Chains A and B, each alone.
Chain A
Amino acid sequence: MAYKYRIEVTDVTLRDGMHAVRHQFSVEDARAIASALDSTGVALIEAAHGDGLGGSSVQYGFSKETEADYLQAVCGAVQNAQVVALLLPGIGTVEDLKRAVEYGIRGVRVATHSTEADISAQHIEEGRKLGLDVVGFLMMSHMTDVERLVEEAKKMASYGAHAVYIVDSAGAMLMDEVRRKVSALRNALPDDVQVGFHAHNNLGVSVANSIAAVEEGAYRIDASLGGLGAGAGNTPLEVFVAACEKYGIDTGVSLYPAMDAAEDVVRPRMHRPIITDRTALTLGYAGVYSSFLLHAQRAAEQFSVDVRDVLVELGNRRVVGGQEDMIVDVAYEIAHRQA
């Protein structure tokens, strides 16, 4: 059949998926997943800690293995796909990026909160100097209006980003909002700057949102095997590919190998099923950063409070990605208010 659209898929199983396994994949796990992914035809594979380079910490959880070990294993396991890393300025640094390039990465995705693009200038410019494929990643895009998102995306493009993403970190967006925000970026950015979309499935619409994004001109779409990712997970790669086939979108990904990789390689390695349970659903409902999920469950247990109360309060306070320390503070406060 003739395709209506052609896109490029970035797989985030080994990066966003790390949140769902508390950053505890072994080098062996990483190698097996990377190799299975490579055979599916995905263009890009993102790997290392869930919070990107330098993310291994008390705040976000320590990785089982070092960044060097993960990235070298993944780079060594792939033949077709390019390996990329995530970098959150304020957590990771240009020095971390330079080291990752030595380990073999070919691209970097520089992520900031959706109103703070100017903290990415240094890292985007350095990524270009290093000859990398560079993406700007506007996290928590649901919190920011269209005009501001356009402004911030233009900044990232001006620093040299090859592509800028609308990132629904909280899985809080529905199709209309995705359409408005993606099309606004597509219209505002130069033709040679691609637009991307990253979803979380907290409201059960990650595949629908991703297809809406493609229709509005997004060229890069993120997905993960079995949806492994923070919160209720990301857009499940195999589901997305099947839906795209039916819809006339050429993803460059082969369906059966993607199904097999999800079923045989990733699902047995999951710590918990990737489902929209009440906690994950509350993330999407309250507009809270998806990687807060496991941290919030732990804090709720520690202080004997309802995890949903904690998440809703975090949403009310407009907490942004990276503020995991606020989870314990809020749980502590709720517990003391109830006492």
Chain B
Amino acid sequence: MTKLTAAIVGSGNIGTDLMVKLQRSEWIEPRWMIGIDPESDGLRRAKNAGLEVSAEGLAAMLKAGVHPDIVFDATSAKAHVRHAKLLREAGIQAVDLTPAARGPYVIAAVNLQEHLESPNVNMVTCGGQATVPIVYAVSRVVGVSYAEIVATIASKSAGPGTRANIDEFTETTSRAIETIGKARRGKAIIILNPAEPPILMRDTIYCLMDDASEETRHKVLASIREMVSHVQTYVPGYRLNREPIFRDNLVSVSIEVEGLGDYLPVYAGNLDIMTAAAVKFAEEYAKHRAAVNQ
């Protein structure tokens, strides 16, 4: 079985962490890393790892005749709008890790199978990958009129892109809570905490349920537990901080995400869950393509 080839555009925290994860994949081979700064740590690491690196951008790479099966875009929303067009014209599968959202949202634990034929998929946000599965776990049992998530991440794990455009995080995550989490209304809050040593990524998910009978609570609890185990299959450091707390119609779930420490240290679980979700999509896509081609 030959692996699908992949290029990573963007050599920052996300792109570099993604590279380390893809190197372990049985389905994907990371072959190119494209950045803008030849001196960046990401490009240096990629070169040492044997990838072909370029600081000339995606357009130059495509013009030179390089044709990966998959391109992961870990640049910025603005850049991805350009990249999306180039990739579509070249017929290359795009996995978008920016908030640009040219293609449908994919939350790896929830709707990955639905979009294996979409030429461009968007990985939402780190907060979305961590919390939407829980909202969905509740809404598949009982109607959720409102879901709210609070993502707290270590200051050190929020790169300049996130910081310069924090509204994109809250807006994109809110939309995913509604469209994929299936809450009728969604809200997202993000907090940066500068404590040293850095804290692990921590998320609280609140869902207002249409019904909170004993039986419903029981089912919701089981559904949440099942979802946590499911996410753990591709993000091993994803876990409940405490038992879900029910109060009137509200359920409050607290989770923690410990990263694998591939590029940034383990506290950057927010990075990990994003890149792990992208890898998970790409591997499922590779399996799907292999099945179709047979």
B29 within 8 Å of A (CB atoms): no
A320 within 8 Å of B (CB atoms): yes
Residue pair A323, B152 in contact (C-beta under 8 Å): yes
Chain B 172-200 interface mask (CB, 8 Å, partner A; 1/0): 00000000000000010111111100000
Residue pair B191, A323 in contact (C-beta under 8 Å): yes
Cβ-closest chain B residue relative to A55: B189
Assuming A119-B163, A119-B166, is B204 touching A59 (CB within 8 A)?
yes
Residue pair B148, A57 in contact (C-beta under 8 Å): yes
The total number of A-B Cβ pairs within 8 Å is: 86
On chain B, the residues within 8 Å of A91 by CB distance are: 170, 189
Residue pair A323, B190 in contact (C-beta under 8 Å): no
Residue pair B195, A93 in contact (C-beta under 8 Å): no
Chain A 308-339 interface mask (CB, 8 Å, partner B; 1/0): 00000000011110110110110011000000
Chain A interface residue bracket vs B: 20 to 34
- How far apart are the CA atoms of A119 and B158 in the complex, in Å? 10
B241 within 8 Å of A (CB atoms): yes
Question: Closest CB of chain B to A86's CB: distance in Å?
Answer: 15
Residue pair A318, B150 in contact (C-beta under 8 Å): no
- How far apart are the CA atoms of A59 and B206 in the complex, in Å? 8
Residue pair A332, B245 in contact (C-beta under 8 Å): yes
Question: Closest CB of chain B to A309's CB: distance in Å?
Answer: 17
On chain A, the residues within 8 Å of B164 by CB distance are: 118, 121-122
Cβ-closest chain B residue relative to A332: B242
- How far apart are the CA atoms of A323 and B154 in the complex, in Å? 12
B13 within 8 Å of A (CB atoms): no
On chain B, the residues within 8 Å of A328 by CB distance are: 245, 252, 254
Residue pair B148, A323 in contact (C-beta under 8 Å): no
- How far apart are the CA atoms of A154 and B245 in the complex, in Å? 43
- How far apart are the CA atoms of A119 and B160 in the complex, in Å? 9
Chain B interface residue bracket vs A: 20 to 34
Chain A 45-83 interface mask (CB, 8 Å, partner B; 1/0): 000000000100111000000000000000000000000
Residue pair B167, A59 in contact (C-beta under 8 Å): no
On chain B, the residues within 8 Å of A113 by CB distance are: 192-194
- How far apart are the CA atoms of A122 and B191 in the complex, in Å? 16
Cβ-closest chain A residue relative to B247: A302
Residue pair B166, A318 in contact (C-beta under 8 Å): no
Residue pair A329, B241 in contact (C-beta under 8 Å): yes
On chain A, the residues within 8 Å of B146 by CB distance are: 58
On chain A, the residues within 8 Å of B195 by CB distance are: 317-318, 320
Assuming A58-B148, A93-B167, is B241 touching A320 (CB within 8 A)?
no
B171 within 8 Å of A (CB atoms): yes
A227 within 8 Å of B (CB atoms): no
- How far apart are the CA atoms of A267 and B175 in the complex, in Å? 41
On chain A, the residues within 8 Å of B254 by CB distance are: 325, 328-329
Assuming A113-B194, A115-B194, A119-B192, is B206 touching A58 (CB within 8 A)?
yes
- How far apart are the CA atoms of A328 and B254 in the complex, in Å? 10
Question: Closest CB of chain A to B137's CB: distance in Å?
Answer: 18
On chain B, the residues within 8 Å of A319 by CB distance are: 193
Residue pair B245, A89 in contact (C-beta under 8 Å): no
Assuming A57-B148, A118-B164, is B192 touching A90 (CB within 8 A)?
yes
Question: Closest CB of chain A to B193's CB: distance in Å?
Answer: 5
Question: Closest CB of chain A to B165's CB: distance in Å?
Answer: 6
Question: Closest CB of chain B to A145's CB: distance in Å?
Answer: 12
- How far apart are the CA atoms of A58 and B247 in the complex, in Å? 12
Q: Which of A59, A116, A302, A329 contacts B189 (CB 8 A)?
A: A59
Question: Closest CB of chain B to A95's CB: distance in Å?
Answer: 7
Cβ-closest chain B residue relative to A140: B194
On chain B, the residues within 8 Å of A118 by CB distance are: 160, 163-164
Assuming A118-B163, A119-B163, A329-B241, is B193 touching A320 (CB within 8 A)?
yes
Assuming A328-B245, A329-B241, is B193 touching A89 (CB within 8 A)?
no
B250 within 8 Å of A (CB atoms): yes
On chain B, the residues within 8 Å of A58 by CB distance are: 146, 148, 206, 208, 250, 252
The 8 closest A-B pairs by CB, nearest first: A325-B204, A318-B195, A58-B206, A93-B167, A90-B190, A115-B194, A322-B191, A118-B163
Q: 5 A–B contact pairs at CB < 8 A?
A: A54-B187, A59-B148, A90-B170, A323-B191, A325-B254
Binding site for B on A (CB under 8 A): 54, 57-59, 89-91, 93-95, 113, 115-116, 118-119, 121-122, 302, 317-320, 322-323, 325-326, 328-329, 332-333
